[in-house]
Amino acid sequence: MQHTLLIAACFGPLLLNAQTGAVDGTPAPPTTVQELTPAQLSALMTAGRVFVFDCNEPYMHEEAHVPGAVLIPYDAVTPDRMPADRDAAIVFYCYSPECPAASMAARDAVELGFTQVYCMREGITGWQDVGLPTEAVP
């Protein structure tokens, strides 16, 4: 029993900091990719500043993409192609839930230090399935 109390006394504060991410108790920024639905992305776009990246092939992007989305190959997530603000909300999507490109790009963004990284797994097909508007390249 004393051994357990000693361990708790020594490591309890460290475990608390690991949960919150900081000595002052503030939450740590997320270090993983968060998933969101097409409806959630639409609300996020309406509410404020968000950067949306389309990881589809160029011809697919030309046919239909989320309004304002920027085409980016899944393997081209580099600092020069991303927002300067590492705390900016960024969202990646591709064609459908079976497409891994958006998840791969989002993981790369997390590795670059972005703190608000999202993946819309349903892709452009999920976006269209719920009746949300798309843009096409003229």
- As a three-state string, the secondary structure of 59-76 is HHHHHCECCCCEECCCCC
* Residues 56, 86 within the same domain: yes
Distance CA 136, CA 4 (A): 63
Backbone angles phi, psi at 117, to 5 degrees: -110, 130
* Residues 35, 91 within the same domain: yes
What is the mean predicted confidence (pLDDT) over 44-57? Answer: 94
Q: Is the pLDDT of residue 27 over 60?
A: no
Which of the four pLDDT bands, split at 50, 70 and 90, describes residue 10?
very low
pTM higher than 0.85 for the full model? Answer: no
* Structural domain boundaries, residue 106: 31-129
CATH, residue 121:
3.40.250.10
| pLDDT per position as a tens digit, 56-97 | 999 999 999 999 999 999 999 999 999 999 999 999 999 999
Give me 40's structure tokens: 């959630």
Instruction: Report the DSSP pairing between strands 51-54 and 116-120.
Output: unpaired
Measured between alpha carbons, how far is residue 18 from residues 5, 11, 22, 23, 107 in Å? 19, 10, 7, 9, 21
pLDDT of residue 49: 83
Q: Is the pLDDT of residue 2 over 80?
A: no
Q: Is the pLDDT of residue 16 over 60?
A: no
The count of structural domains within the chain is 2
pLDDT of residue 72: 97
Distance CA 95, CA 59 (A): 12
* Residues 9, 36 within the same domain: no
